[in-house]
Structure 1
Amino acid sequence: MTTADKLGLRTDELPAALLAGVEQRWQGLLEHCDSGQFREQGEWYSRFIGSPRRGELLQAFACSPALFEICARHPDWLPSLEANGLLENSIAPHSWREELRAACVNCATAEELAQILRQFRNRHWLRIVWRDLNRLAEMEETVADLSNLAEACVDVALDFLHRQLCEERGEPQSKAGHPQQLVVIAMGKLGAGELNLSSDIDLIFTYPEPGNTVGAARSVDNQEFFIRLGQRLIKALDTRTADGFVFRVDMRLRPYGQSGPLVISFDALEEYYQDQGRDWERYALIKARCIAGDRVAGEQLLDQLRPFVYRRYLDFSAIESLREMKAMIQREVLRRQLQDNIKLGAGGIREIEFIAQCFQLIRGGREPALQALELQTILGELARQQYLPGEVVAELHDAYRFLRNTEHGIQAARDQQTQQLPSEDDERCALALAMGFDGDWAAFESELSAHRSRVSRCFANVIAPAETEHENPRLSHDRWRTMLDDLQLDSVRETLEEAGFDAAEEAARLLVALLKGASVQRMQGRGRDRLYALLPLLLEDLGGVSAPTATLLRLIPLIEAVLRRTAYLVLLIENPGARGRLVELCDASPWIARQLAGHPVLLDELLDARSLYSVPEQSAMESELRQQLLRIESDDLEAQMEALRYFRLAHVLRVAASEATDSLPLMKVSDYLTAIAEVVLAAVLDIAWQNLVDKHGSPAPAGDDRRHFLVLGYGKLGGIELSYGSDLDLVFLHDLPANAMTDGARPVDAGSFFTRLGQRIIHILTATTRLGDLYEVDMRLRPSGNSGLLVSSFTAFSEYQHKQAWTWEHQALVRVRAVAGDDVLAKKFAKLRQQILCIPRAQDELVSEVIAMRQKMRDHLLSGVNKSAEFDLKQGEGGIVDIEFMVQYAVLAWSHQHPPLTHYTDNIRILESLNNNGLISSADTQALIDAYKAFRSQAHRLSLQEQKGRIAITALGAERKNVSRLWQQLMLST
């Protein structure tokens, strides 16, 4: 009987190129089993080849001679894996350590440990390859299993070797007497949990604190102890024995590389990265993860190193380094002829990793979700946050899986560390079989080429070469460079005059003062180079605006603000569109210029004109902020506050940019500014509520999921008329009994709970952080003003409004509405507001009190104003407040007869309601609306120009006259 007969192999089961090899391996395995102690296993193999799972064994033996060799050396391993269900099923992450620890229970020597580790590795390598080649496990499970395998080996080996070395040299302790352990940081693929079948493991060893060992005859320094421990750990894993090796260990990523000490302390490690860390070390730390030793200390260390890896701002300074790295990759492919290398070659794994890494380094400091370790998680975030089109990310996902599976197919063949496509026909046939192409190399190669082509296309579009970024035929850089090299006041003035700068002498003085100032003189070489690369571009752009010198004056504070954070200079160098929009907006508005100078992080908003000049609806803003906050740990209040502040700054900038370029009308400006405030308030309430509930539990009765808390917005917020510098007039209400208790571990009464809630809301809104505050808050409109309770019960508020409130407080109710909080309580408040506003009032007394309050306000707020030369848009006679007081008077006077007057809180819709109810003529209504819009539009423009809300006494005369006429008619003739 032939070997083929024994195997029962049919020619349709495997490609012809692989038949002989599989037959030979099968014969050798059976002969080995028959000749020794493995007859029982031989019978298992014979039964298995006749079972429905026959195809799995043929696939594994055909595609992986290395797997067969393990089976030949250890015929019992595959049967035992099958008997335990491990060929068909996944292994839980925690089970790897448990199994290996159990195997090491009776281990007494380093030699025994080495043998156990190697057999553990090889047995599981057999299982992982079997499952991978037969697609019983997806690629993601394969890389996770390999990473879990490596992590278990490192961790268990370290535990054993630490105990052993402590017996010899004593236990390492800090100077304060705290026990010390080695911390093992995994880098690269192990750090990311993405090992391949033959990966090295890149490690860094460190320890928390200096000190000495105690408990042995001779004490040694902690560093000496841990260096010896590290050497033993490397030997346990890396040394090749009769059982092979566990994992090759690469320590070259440690500080100072191979010339540096094997182990250093946390302080020394941090000092190194702070003082000497290079760009490539930032890249390496993206995937750093503590895998063994003192894990708590290790995670704390990585948290401390995170600012080195991820800048808190958008790090466009990384572009230069990434561009250099990309060029190096491309040169290496050509030089080393790596076209057949599916990792390093064009369109290979490394290019996908580079694409993800670019976004991580540039945006990871601002987007914590991009700090994830796993490449596929990062790709998903790039699609979700729309940094890359969804279809591109889908192509990268597919290509990555295909390439990683190909890598595993290559490495499974010989258990060799290679990503080179095979050149021999039988090896190509085996790889094509492993990849599901029935051994058809041409079909496999076509699919591989398609994936690599798509990756190459995306790679080419990421970080464009410098020369293509800066192409602009309008630029005449030579004259600017000559001017900057000379920097004499007269020559600078002459050059600016030739370029069409108005007030060239003033512009020259500003420029020379900037460049000869101490801040610029102190700049390091690279920073100065970036500044001098930007200025010619900026000066050329300034030549195209209406007032170059004034705009330069507005830009200089921004330039000074970023001299020590030159990534922003790179942002403007690299992005002509953003630079042009910066100049345009600073030309249009000094207010916008000051916002950008105060918060350079907002320069990111200039990158995309579509979002800069497009303000989203409130629901979209709510979704955006919710997503941003979901990426932050719920107990990280500082990060939440920073996210809120950036959100508000960015969206207010979009509104201002849209208004400054006349793409957003006045009424929409106020609508959007009010919507931004409402979105922020809702989020602040959520954060403050969750914080207190975590501490004290909920004050609501069991089964009641209401919050029973309401935020009221008065004034401009209530009237949907916020402007850029508006503060928030707020009042807080609750509707639970004050003595109700919260249900948490540290209960407090409801009164205290809601007071603390109000305090926390105000703190989140007003605390000054790196990005400033959110809003100024005015709580003086609450019952009894500053002497009243911070949070009123609904009952107390109702009694106050019915019995104690002044007329001006009822006037304020005209422009109040619920802006955040409990919907049920909001409806109760709306009903109460209508009741109060509909109370019948004596007309003579009402008009007298309204006029008196108006005069008191005007006398107080217009003192010192030259009324013969200037008109104050808000407080002047016939201005905004006169319209507001007329509206408030009308609502208080007539709502008892016309309840619809209470439906709205904004002046324009109340005016329309007065007309609809026959109380003011259509002509008079339109005159007041037109005047109100004109005054507010002028006030908005002055705000963007950072000017006081006053105009020439001759301006808007018709509008003022109409308002004064109607004031006389409505208020003084009553």
Structure 2
Amino acid sequence: WERIALLKVRPSAGDVKKLGLEFLELANLFVFRKYIDLSLIEEVLRIKEMIRAKVSKKGEKIDLKLGKGGIREIEFIVQAFQVIYGGKYPQIRSKNTVVALKKLFNWGFLNRKEYEELLQSYLFLRKAEHMLQITNFRQTQTFHPESEEAEELAKKMGFRRREDFLRELSKVQEKVNGYFNKFFPVGENRPLSSYTVEELQKFGFKEPEEVKHFIDALLNLKSLSSEERRRIDVMGTKLLKLIYEVPVSKFALKNLILFLETEEGKVFFFSFLSHENLIKLLLYLLSTKEFFLKRFRETPEILDYIFSPELIESPVEKSSVENFFSTAQNLLLTKNTFEVASLLRKRLGRTKIEEFFFEFSSVCEFCTERVYLRESPSFSLFSLGKLGSREMNVNSDLDLLFISREKSEMDFEKALSLVKGLESLGYEVDTRLRPFGEKGELVFTLSYFRKYLSETARTWERLAFTRFRFLIGNFKEEAEEIVKDFLFGKPFNREVLDEILSMRERLEREFPTSILKYAPGGVVDLEFVAYTYQLYSKRWLRNTLETLKALSEEDERFSKGEELYRLIRQAETEKRLFDELVTFGDKIGKLREEIRSFYTEFMKWIALRV
């Protein structure tokens, strides 16, 4: 727009002959490029859309200058031809619009019909503008078609009736707008800045006011140059469609602003702006509330890896994570890269929800082992919870047990150091499932573990230990044999079942608002089914989905269990990533009803068998 504005610059006062001419020379170098510069077309369209959005707020008034088919459209046509081609063809340059039109015709840029119609339209519109301003003795270009002002303007323009003038004006404006659209084909794409809140609502955005706020903030971002802001604005409708398609558009825009405030984010974004599929994936990641941005801030260099086709197409396994780490030698970068890669693989349909959990668990297991090896303790490491069953989700805790052969004074310090090492990677470590919980020793011996499970442990611990799994260290078989005896050595009778049912009811009362986990129909319903079935069947499967599969194989009435579990865990994942149920919405109520019905039917089924 500055190049267009400087087309008409001329020295007016002061040192006109020296300083004025020097400025003119500099301005001409800026305005007129030696090459044919077609990039200006997008800029003209962007400015025109901004004007259109502004004019649309004036209601039914006619704007002779800025409105559709107005003076400004003719000026844009003339100015754009001069700026685009004026560097190579200086003969078409002129500060005067009428003269410039003649030159464009003489040099073949306009044919005779185009030249004559644009010239006559320009003279008609400028005369109308002058007559309107004479009427009110003020600078104005707008009037209401039903007003007395319109009547007077019609007479001054030589028309007997207002209707005849308005009809002729409409013809002129339609003609001008037709030429403007011919020289600047708009298509569907519009500048981002031109969209109003109402248009964003029609587009389909749930929170159009917030989206508009973030669009304005993006286009005024101080960390971007004017050229970078223009490039984003010109993307317009294309970018808006990509933003609309992501799970949470307001997060995508908000986080894009934060992303572009960093040098690494800015360089990446503008380097790949023309790669629509890559930008689509980036916006998806940015639409997570904090999952991606947190990892990007910690390790900006993940941008060098996460969009690699090789990484996205390869299953995330401990071996692939180890290969990456052997080169990167940065555990946090390794963790963040493969967690993001796991999410992208899920987004692109490379994995099902249970495979996503397995990949997330594999990354966590590798990181845990690396921290363990760094500390080199004498104790062994075991897991419970979601890591134990290999079903880790975003933000899942790490339930760990530290078991030693013999007591060692160094073990306690090394266990604390191991916990701190994992927390520095962003994990939340929970050690409360150890004997006597927080009151018990952080590191305990194998013999103490055996004695506790055989003499003191309660029923709820039998449920928790169905997920017990060895991670790294020694005496794997011994520890697993102790747990196996604890799980299946004691009878599973009606008393145990009643305790399980009471535990489930207590969790419902204590966490009534946790609709996806503890409330009736939450994840815990199906986990209790899995715990109970393992104790009843004496099959140590650890993994909830595998257990539900085994149950369905025993009795086909429970064949829906696997799918119900996948769905509720998918809902849980959405909530953790996007802070809302993106694909479920109101359907979550029906899903919870089905899960509670499944749970109730299973408990009745098991009650008949104990």
What TM-score do you get using the length of structure 1 for normalisation?
0.40
* Residue number in structure 2 paired with 1:650: 337
1:880 corresponds to 2:523:
yes
Give how far 1:571 is off.
1.5
Give how far 1:717 is off.
0.9
Give how far 1:805 is off.
0.9
1:672 corresponds to 2:359:
yes
Rounded Cα–Cα distance in structure 1 between residues aligned with 2:263 and 2:52: 23
In structure 2, give the amino acid aligned to 1:758: A
Give how far 1:515 is off.
4.4
In structure 1, give the amino acid aligned to 2:216: V
* Residue number in structure 2 paired with 1:509: 213
Q: After superposition, what is the alpha-carbon deviation per residue over 1:656-675, rounded to whole angstroms, capped at 9, x for unaligned?
A: 12222333211211110111
1:576-615 aligned within 5 A = 576=273, 580-584=277-281, 586-587=283-284, 590-591=287-288, 595-596=292-293, 599-600=296-297, 601=300, 602-612=302-312, 614-615=314-315
1:496 corresponds to 2:496:
no
Give how far 1:543 is off.
3.6
Give how far 1:781 is off.
0.3
Does structure 2 retain, via aligned residues, the 8 Å contact 1:615–1:654? no
Q: After superposition, what is the alpha-carbon deviation per residue over 1:41-68, rounded to whole angstroms, capped at 9, x for unaligned?
A: xxxxxxxxxxxxxxxxxxxxxxxxxxxx
Rounded Cα–Cα distance in structure 2 between residues aligned with 1:684 and 1:649: 15
1:804–1:828 distance in 2 versus 1, CA, 3 Å: same
SS of the counterpart of 1:731?
strand
* Residue number in structure 1 paired with 2:532: 889
* Residue number in structure 2 paired with 1:663: 350
- Long gaps (5+) in structure 2: 1-34, 58-190
Structure number having the greater helix percentage: 2
Rounded Cα–Cα distance in structure 2 between residues aligned with 1:840 and 1:596: 49
Give how far 1:723 is off.
0.9
Q: 2:409 aligns with which of 734, 739, 752?
A: 752
Give how far 1:775 is off.
0.6
Does structure 2 retain, via aligned residues, the 8 Å contact 1:810–1:837? yes
Rounded Cα–Cα distance in structure 1 between residues aligned with 2:447 and 2:337: 39
Give how far 1:910 is off.
3.1
* Residue number in structure 2 paired with 1:711: 381
1:796 corresponds to 2:448:
yes
Rounded Cα–Cα distance in structure 1 between residues aligned with 2:448 and 2:56: 72
Rounded Cα–Cα distance in structure 2 between residues aligned with 1:908 and 1:555: 33
Does structure 1 retain, via aligned residues, the 8 Å contact 2:371–2:422? yes
Give how far 1:729 is off.
0.9
1:940 corresponds to 2:573:
yes
In structure 2, give the amino acid aligned to 1:932: Y
* Residue number in structure 1 paired with 2:495: 845
What TM-score do you get using the length of structure 2 for normalisation?
0.62
SS of the counterpart of 1:576?
coil
1:945–1:842 distance in 2 versus 1, CA, 3 Å: closer
Q: After superposition, what is the alpha-carbon deviation per residue over 1:721-741, rounded to whole angstroms, capped at 9, x for unaligned?
A: 111121111111111x32xxx
Give how far 1:973 is off.
7.5
Give how far 1:878 is off.
4.2
Does structure 1 retain, via aligned residues, the 8 Å contact 2:192–2:215? no
Does structure 2 retain, via aligned residues, the 8 Å contact 1:732–1:791? yes
1:963–1:572 distance in 2 versus 1, CA, 3 Å: same
Rounded Cα–Cα distance in structure 2 between residues aligned with 1:616 and 1:663: 11
In structure 2, give the amino acid aligned to 1:583: K
1:880–1:827 distance in 2 versus 1, CA, 3 Å: same
Does structure 2 retain, via aligned residues, the 8 Å contact 1:709–1:733? yes
Rounded Cα–Cα distance in structure 2 between residues aligned with 1:831 and 1:973: 26
SS of the counterpart of 2:380?
strand
* Residue number in structure 2 paired with 1:780: 432
Q: 1:763 aligns with which of 405, 414, 420?
A: 420
Does structure 1 retain, via aligned residues, the 8 Å contact 2:312–2:344? yes
Q: 1:556 aligns with which of 244, 253, 268?
A: 253
- Long gaps (5+) in structure 1: 1-466, 630-642, 690-706, 739-750, 768-772, 866-871, 896-900
In structure 2, give the amino acid aligned to 1:812: A
1:482–1:760 distance in 2 versus 1, CA, 3 Å: farther
Rounded Cα–Cα distance in structure 1 between residues aligned with 2:275 and 2:404: 47
Give how far 1:807 is off.
1.2
Does structure 2 retain, via aligned residues, the 8 Å contact 1:618–1:675? yes
Rounded Cα–Cα distance in structure 2 between residues aligned with 1:485 and 1:683: 59
Does structure 2 retain, via aligned residues, the 8 Å contact 1:547–1:587? no
1:623 corresponds to 2:327:
no
* Residue number in structure 2 paired with 1:926: 559
SS of the counterpart of 2:195?
helix
Give how far 1:511 is off.
2.3
1:686–1:905 distance in 2 versus 1, CA, 3 Å: same
In structure 2, give the amino acid aligned to 1:966: F
1:567–1:621 distance in 2 versus 1, CA, 3 Å: closer
Rounded Cα–Cα distance in structure 1 between residues aligned with 2:448 and 2:439: 15
* Residue number in structure 2 paired with 1:575: 272
SS of the counterpart of 1:729?
strand
1:814 corresponds to 2:466:
yes
Q: After superposition, what is the alpha-carbon deviation per residue over 1:794-843, rounded to whole angstroms, capped at 9, x for unaligned?
A: 11111111111111112111011012x22x42222122221211212261
Rounded Cα–Cα distance in structure 1 between residues aligned with 2:550 and 2:382: 23
Rounded Cα–Cα distance in structure 2 between residues aligned with 1:933 and 1:674: 16
* Residue number in structure 1 paired with 2:45: 479
Does structure 2 retain, via aligned residues, the 8 Å contact 1:814–1:888? yes
1:847–1:532 distance in 2 versus 1, CA, 3 Å: same
1:832–1:549 distance in 2 versus 1, CA, 3 Å: closer
SS of the counterpart of 1:947?
coil
Larger relative contact order (CA 8 Å, sep ≥ 6): 2
1:685-724 aligned within 5 A = 685-689=372-376, 708-724=378-394
Q: 1:832 aligns with which of 457, 482, 490?
A: 482
1:969 corresponds to 2:605:
yes
Q: Over the residues paired in the alignment, what is the CA RMSD in angstroms?
A: 3.7
In structure 2, give the amino acid aligned to 1:802: S
In structure 2, give the amino acid aligned to 1:712: F
Does structure 2 retain, via aligned residues, the 8 Å contact 1:493–1:505? no
Rounded Cα–Cα distance in structure 2 between residues aligned with 1:484 and 1:610: 43
Rounded Cα–Cα distance in structure 1 between residues aligned with 2:605 and 2:332: 46
Does structure 2 retain, via aligned residues, the 8 Å contact 1:728–1:777? yes
Give how far 1:676 is off.
0.8
Does structure 1 retain, via aligned residues, the 8 Å contact 2:312–2:341? yes
In structure 2, give the amino acid aligned to 1:730: L
SS of the counterpart of 1:814?
helix
1:90-239 aligned within 5 A = none
1:955–1:783 distance in 2 versus 1, CA, 3 Å: closer
* Residue number in structure 1 paired with 2:547: 910
Q: After superposition, what is the alpha-carbon deviation per residue over 1:492-538, rounded to whole angstroms, capped at 9, x for unaligned?
A: 7872368995557654433224445xxx44x5xxx524642552365
SS of the counterpart of 1:792?
strand
Give how far 1:556 is off.
3.3
Rounded Cα–Cα distance in structure 2 between residues aligned with 1:559 and 1:490: 29
Q: After superposition, what is the alpha-carbon deviation per residue over 1:11-55, rounded to whole angstroms, capped at 9, x for unaligned?
A: xxxxxxxxxxxxxxxxxxxxxxxxxxxxxxxxxxxxxxxxxxxxx
1:666–1:571 distance in 2 versus 1, CA, 3 Å: same
* Residue number in structure 1 paired with 2:164: none
In structure 2, give the amino acid aligned to 1:512: D
SS of the counterpart of 2:467?
coil
Does structure 1 retain, via aligned residues, the 8 Å contact 2:394–2:576? yes
1:842–1:677 distance in 2 versus 1, CA, 3 Å: closer
Rounded Cα–Cα distance in structure 2 between residues aligned with 1:854 and 1:956: 15
Rounded Cα–Cα distance in structure 1 between residues aligned with 2:604 and 2:395: 32
The size of the alignment, in residue pairs, is 430
Q: After superposition, what is the alpha-carbon deviation per residue over 1:917-967, rounded to whole angstroms, capped at 9, x for unaligned?
A: xxx42x034232232223223333443432269854234654543332122
Give how far 1:564 is off.
4.7
